[in-house]
Amino acid sequence: MSQGRAWALCAVGLTVMLAWWLGPSAKDTVAQVANDPQPAAARGWSADSTTLPASFQRQTPALPALTRGAPLMPGQPAQARLALLPITVTSPQYLHVGEQTELVVGVGANADVGEVSFTVQFDPDVLQARAGTEGDWAAGGARPDALFAAEISEAADRVQIRSTLAARRASSAGGSVAIVQFQAVAPGTTWVMIADVTVKDLAGHAMPVLLSSPKFQVTAERIPPPWPEAPSSRGVLPMEAPATEAVDAD
């Protein structure tokens, strides 16, 4: 037997004896070394390091960032921080030249809203603003602390609306903030835009809102010509039956 083979057998024998002497933990270690003779350094990471390689790390999906809302008022529930107050816009999208129609802007349910303001913009070559009236959100002006203002530009291309309350509303129900009347002055298709939307609570803090329609199209069409009238029978005398003469049989 060669000297190298003898040394190898001695090493194996010492390992087995050491495993028997130290107990099960050493046996597991010996088995692991026997089954995986490749050194840890060859795997690309250090056995002494506590950091696992990227392939072994658990991938955690990133959570979406939460939108920060307005500061909470005393007694206001925590859910209100992330609540989005809906702002709705309704209006006919087709009308005839010369016809006047209404655009209604409403606010969702929330008893703590103290101010709603916005601007409605028109293309004055097709549509022009005519008036702005208060809706029912602020009790139709019945409250002494309710203020409403509607300012129409000289070109009639925009209406600035501002509605405010100084005290909390008894009901949290929403309603219409303003009704804007506009008229079609020429045929065409154009955009109507809602801009500068601001909603504040009673303390003057901005509230997050969700606008349903920041802009929408309106088409103005010419009034079709009237159908031609059927010829009238007025003034036409009824036709008389031809007169017949009696013939004498004689």
Let me know if residue 233 belongs to a domain: no
**Count of domains observed in the chain:** 2
Let me know if residue 246 belongs to a domain: no
Q: What is the pLDDT of residue 43?
A: 41
- Give how far Cα 127 sits from Cα of 120, 196, 218, Å: 12, 20, 9
Q: What is the pLDDT of residue 48?
A: 43
DSSP class of 57: S
Residues 122, 202, single domain; the answer is yes
Phi, psi (degrees; rounded to nearest 5) at 9: -65, -35
Let me know if residue 188 belongs to a domain: yes
Q: What is the pLDDT of residue 100?
A: 96
Q: What is the pLDDT of residue 246?
A: 56
CB 246 within 8 A of CB 108: no
- What distance in Å separates the CA atoms of residue 120 and residue 105, rounded to the nearest whole number? 10
Residues 98, 216, single domain; the answer is yes
Residues 89, 187, single domain; the answer is yes
- The secondary element (H helix, E strand) that includes residue 182 is strand 175-184
Residues 91, 3, single domain; the answer is no
CB 98 within 8 A of CB 183: yes
- The secondary element (H helix, E strand) that includes residue 152 is strand 147-152
Q: What is the pLDDT of residue 24?
A: 52
In this structure, what CATH number is given to the domain that contains residue 175? 2.60.40.680
Which residues span the domain enclosing 214?
A: 83-221
pTM of the model: 0.58
Q: What is the pLDDT of residue 110?
A: 87
Residues 90, 213, single domain; the answer is yes
Let me know if residue 230 belongs to a domain: no
Residue 172, sorted as left (phi over 0), alpha (psi -120 to 50) or beta, turns out to be: alpha
Let me know if residue 42 belongs to a domain: no
| Tokens matching residue 136 | 């029912």
- What distance in Å separates the CA atoms of residue 187 and residue 96, rounded to the nearest whole number? 8
User: What are the tens digits of pLDDT across the range 180-195?
Assistant: 999 999 999 999 999 9
| Tokens matching residue 10 | 């001695």
Residues 115, 202, single domain; the answer is yes
Strand-pair category, 85-90 with 147-152 = unpaired
Which residues of the chain are under the pLDDT cut of 70? Answer: 1-83, 139-142, 230-250
User: What are the tens digits of pLDDT across the range 89-104?
Assistant: 999 999 999 999 999 9
Q: What is the pLDDT of residue 20?
A: 56
